[in-house]
């Protein structure tokens, strides 16, 4: 019975020492590894195995096959090992275009009982070449499985075990919201709630009326906001993580309902309420293009995934696509049954997402096949937002429910988030935080709500502060601890970590 | 119903002789054909003797395991024939490959495959056959491999027949003899009758049984 260490009696001492020896070797400390083997009298591998591994590493196939004899494998495994080694020898001959030796190696295989199908596959490589998978490490891995367990230790086993432990810790950390670089082997990891924004760190008062929409740029350096005061503002984040006005985008004659960043963050588009869509240069603050349709006002807008075009959802209940220069690409022929709201294109450019032909449906339109997938909800949909990788969607319903769906492949319903308030207005939600694991939402009760996306029943944060309905929230994509909220009280609040606890 | 009437008709000797003659000429049995003609006093049909001679040679080369020579002669006889019949061309080249393997010239066979057979490998329908053929190289004794039928004389005969028909077709001659056509027709008609009336009334046509008398 092997000695064990640790309180659970699960870790065998000899295995523990052996993986340490392997770790030392992989770090380049050959001498220390040898000393440890000597002092502990526990070798990493027995001598025959050591020699075998050395021969394999050097590609000395014939000697490797001979060495199999001394390893006392079961007959079936011994045979399988021989075949594996011969195959590798064969493939390596093919790689250097040595057909003659490859052929004679191939002919050694039928007597070993290799099945006819495999022989065919291998023979055809005489014409087509060795193909993929000729790495020696792959062969070693296959061989290892033929040996009794623990006879051969996989390289870098300790690293792998540690990374698995980290993965588990992160998975189980309910409030995990720190950059990966902050993880440490030296202490047990638990984020605790204080790693989630909870305090107002700045109040932005530049707008003179309700703020309806806001969004951080993809690079997290800017924030754009849209207001009933008919303007949009681009804010810049300075070195002290404070936001300052960069440009006020003036020109709309109606309230601005959305403002969205181009994929390269150099431009934004704004949508006037029942008006036109405008494109602005972020650096200069100038309007460079307007997108409109005679006599038809705009409801919502979006960017093409590659920034080469603009999507518009219009008052005539159709979706329009324009080139950047303003020329129309196409528009929907049929009108939808109800007023449109949000539109978006997935980041792979494959799907056009919009509230569909009916108020409780979301339509995913395949731009290539022109086919449509539908997500059906139980209640009317007011708005939606996509995750960064476009694999998930948050759908805001009139019944104060935010529904999470997976839209990679067949749409699949996940969780519903509740607790916030919504009666009359469009209240938006968003993904954010570490690997977008959190869901945040505005609310008519003037508070910001935050949940973990796998724990819909646990409201992680309810943040008071605003004195009017919170219409929209945005989480900074590159700063895990910065959240912004837009409110009917005319202000924008920037939320950060509780300084006392951090 | 017309079959029943035929039973009562007398089939003339001339018809039978023509059928046999056409069979002999199709299969290049020229000496036998001459014999038959002189014995019966029938006139031999005007066929292209030269064509028949060449076909005879080509077929023999295949049966004698000299597929490349067969290819050479075919190309002399009809330049574009093999181009227009790639399946056949492929089969002939494969035969040559098999010949090389059988006499132990494996390296040569491999080179031949890499130069002449590889282009066919790019077309999906030839891939399986090509893999069959390449796999022969793996066996010290090809006869013991799963693809041993490729070495058989039956297979060579099959390819030879195919080439024979193709050459005839190319020269605008019928590629199937009247004899074969009659047997085919007989089989189909019988099949039809069996379906309509059951196996007991009309058993399927069997040549072997018919020959027993």
Q: Are B47 and B25 in contact (CB under 8 A)?
A: yes
Most A CBs within 10 Å, among B134, B140, B145, to test the A interface: B134
Residue-range domain boundaries for chain A = 4-159, 215-376
The rounded percent of chain A whose pLDDT value lies above 90 is 58
B119 to chain A: which residues are within 8 Å by CB?
none
pLDDT bracket for residue A1 (50, 70, 90): low
pLDDT digits (tens, 9 = 90+) for A363-412: 999 988 888 889 999 888 889 999 999 999 999 998 889 999 999 888 99
Predicted confidence (pLDDT) per residue in B40-84, tens digit: 887 777 677 788 888 888 999 999 999 999 999 999 888 888 888
In CATH terms, the superfamily for domain A215-376 is: YVTN repeat-like/Quinoprotein amine dehydrogenase (2.130.10.10)
Q: With an 8 Å Cβ cutoff, are B135 and A119 in contact?
A: yes
Q: What 3 state SS string does chain B have?
A: CHHHHHHHCCCCHHHHHHHHHHHHHHCCCHHHHHHHHHHHCCCCCCCCHHHHHHHHHHHHHHHCCCHHHHHHHHHHHCCCHHHHCHHHHHHHHHHHHHHHHHCCCHHHHHHHHHHHHHHHHHCHHHHHHHHHHHHHHHCCCHHHCCCHHHHCHHHHHHHHHHHHHHHHHHCCCCCCCHHHHHHHHHHHHHHHHHHHHCCCCCCCCCHHHHHHC
Question: What pLDDT does B82 receive?
Answer: 87
Write down the pTM of the prediction. Answer: 0.66
A36 contacts A24 by C-beta, under 8 angstroms? yes
* Contact at CB, A107 and B137, closer than 8 angstroms: yes
From A402's Cα to the closest Cα of chain B, the distance in A is: 52
Kindly report, residue by residue over A149-172, the tens digit of the pLDDT.
Answer: 888 998 899 999 999 999 998 888
Helix (H) or strand (E) holding A49: helix A47-57
* Nearest-by-CA chain A residue for B118: A127
Give the CA dihedral A311, A313, A318, A321, nearest 10 degrees. Answer: -10
Q: Report how far residue A354's alpha carbon sits from residue A390's, in angstroms, rounded to the nearest whole number.
A: 13
CA end-to-end span of chain B, whole Å? 23
What is the ipTM for the molecules in this complex? Answer: 0.74
- Identify the band that residue A346 occupies on the pLDDT scale cut at 50, 70 and 90: very high
Assess B134–A contact: CB distance below 8 Å, yes or no.
yes
Instruction: Give chain A positions within 8 Å (CB) of B132.
Output: 120
Asked whether the beta carbons of A229 and A489 are under 8 A apart, the reply is: no
| DSSP 8-state assignment for residue A434 | G
CB contact under 8 A, A124 and B130: yes
Residue from the list B106, B114, B136 with its beta carbon closest to the beta carbon of A127: B114
Q: Cβ–Cβ of B145/A127 closer than 8 Å? A: no
Band of residue B36 on the pLDDT scale cut at 50, 70, 90? confident
- The pLDDT assigned to B1 comes to 42
B145 contacts in chain A (CB < 8 Å) = 110, 116
B101 touches A: beta carbon within 8 Å: no
**Hey, is A90 helix, strand or coil?**
helix
Q: Are A482 and A475 spatial neighbours (Cβ–Cβ below 8 Å)?
A: yes
Q: Cβ–Cβ of A127/B113 closer than 8 Å?
A: yes
Mean pLDDT of chain A: 90
User: Tokens for A14?
Assistant: 């000899």
* pLDDT surpasses 90 at A128: no
A459 vs A447: CA distance, rounded Å = 12
Residue A305 has pLDDT above 80, yes or no: yes
């Amino acid at each position: 019975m092997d000695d064990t260490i640790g309180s659970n009696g699960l870790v065998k001492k000899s295995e523990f020492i052996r993986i340490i020896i392997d770790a030392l070797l992989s770090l380049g400390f050959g001498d220390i590894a040898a000393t440890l083997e000597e002092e502990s009298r526990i070798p990493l591998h027995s001598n025959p195995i050591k020699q075998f591994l050395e021969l394999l590493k050097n590609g000395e196939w014939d000697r490797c096959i001979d060495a199999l004899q001394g390893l006392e494998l079961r007959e079936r495994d011994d045979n399988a090992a021989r075949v594996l080694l011969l195959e590798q020898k064969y493939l390596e001959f093919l790689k250097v275009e040595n057909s003659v030796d490859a052929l004679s190696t191939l002919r050694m295989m039928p007597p070993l009982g290799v099945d006819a199908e495999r022989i065919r596959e291998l023979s055809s490589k005489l014409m087509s070449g060795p193909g993929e998978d000729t790495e020696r490490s792959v062969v070693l891995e296959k061989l290892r499985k033929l040996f009794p367990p623990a006879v051969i230790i996989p390289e870098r086993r300790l690293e792998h075990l540690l990374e698995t432990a980290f993965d588990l810790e992160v998975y189980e950390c309910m409030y995990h919201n720190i950059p990966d670089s902050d993880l440490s082997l030296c202490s047990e990891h638990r984020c605790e709630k204080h790693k989630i924004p909870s305090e107002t760190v700045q109040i932005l008062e530049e707008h003179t009326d309700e703020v309806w929409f806001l969004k951080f740029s993809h690079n997290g350096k800017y924030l754009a906001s849209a207001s009933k005061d008919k303007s949009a503002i681009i804010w810049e984040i300075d070195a002290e993580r404070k936001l300052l006005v960069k440009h006020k985008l003036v020109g709309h004659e109606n309230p601005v309902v959305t403002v969205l960043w181009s994929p390269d963050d150099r431009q934004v588009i704004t949508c006037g309420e029942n008006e036109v869509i405008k494109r602005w240069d972020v650096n200069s603050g100038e309007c460079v293009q307007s997108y409109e349709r005679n006599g038809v006002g705009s409801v919502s807008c979006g960017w093409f995934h590659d920034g080469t075009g603009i999507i518009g959802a219009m008052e005539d209940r159709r979706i329009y696509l324009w080139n950047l220069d303003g020329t129309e690409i196409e528009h929907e022929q049929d009108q939808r049954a109800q007023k449109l709201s949000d539109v978006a294109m997935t980041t792979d450019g494959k799907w056009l997402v919009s509230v569909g032909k009916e108020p409780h449906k979301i339509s995913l339109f395949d731009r290539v096949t022109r086919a449509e997938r539908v997500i059906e909800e139980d209640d009317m949909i007011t708005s939606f937002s996509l995750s960064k990788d476009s694999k998930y969607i948050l759908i805001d319903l009139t019944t104060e429910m935010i529904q999470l769906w997976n839209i990679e492949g067949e749409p699949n319903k996940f969780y519903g988030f509740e607790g916030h308030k919504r009666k009359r207005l469009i209240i938006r939600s968003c993904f954010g935080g570490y690997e977008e694991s959190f869901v945040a939402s505005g609310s008519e009760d003037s508070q910001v709500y935050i949940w973990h996306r796998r724990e819909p029943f646990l409201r992680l944060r309810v943040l008071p502060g605003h004195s009017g309905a919170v219409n929209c929230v945005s989480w900074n994509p590159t700063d895990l601890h910065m959240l912004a909220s837009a409110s009917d009280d005319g202000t924008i609040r920037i939320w950060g970590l509780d300084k006392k606890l951090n | 119903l017309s079959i029943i009437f035929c039973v009562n008709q007398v089939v003339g000797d001339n018809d039978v002789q023509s059928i046999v003659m056409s069979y002999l000429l199709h299969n290049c049995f020229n000496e036998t054909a001459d014999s038959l003609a002189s014995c019966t006093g029938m006139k031999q049909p005007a066929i292209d003797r030269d064509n028949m001679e060449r076909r005879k040679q080509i077929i023999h080369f295949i049966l004698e395991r000299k597929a490349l020579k067969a290819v050479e002669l075919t190309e002399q006889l009809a330049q574009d024939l093999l181009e227009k019949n790639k399946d056949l061309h492929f089969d002939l080249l494969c035969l040559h490959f098999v010949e090389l393997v059988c006499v132990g010239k494996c390296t040569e066979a491999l080179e031949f495959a890499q130069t002449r057979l590889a282009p066919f490998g790019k077309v999906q329908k030839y891939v399986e056959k090509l893999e069959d053929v390449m796999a022969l190289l793996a066996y010290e004794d090809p006869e013991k491999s799963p693809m041993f039928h490729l070495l058989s004389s039956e297979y060579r005969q099959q390819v030879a027949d195919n080439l024979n028909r193709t050459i005839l077709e190319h020269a605008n001659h019928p590629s199937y003899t009247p004899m074969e056509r009659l047997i085919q027709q007989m089989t189909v008609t019988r099949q039809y009758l069996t379906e309509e009336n059951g196996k007991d009334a009309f058993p399927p046509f069997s040549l072997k049984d018919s020959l027993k008398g």
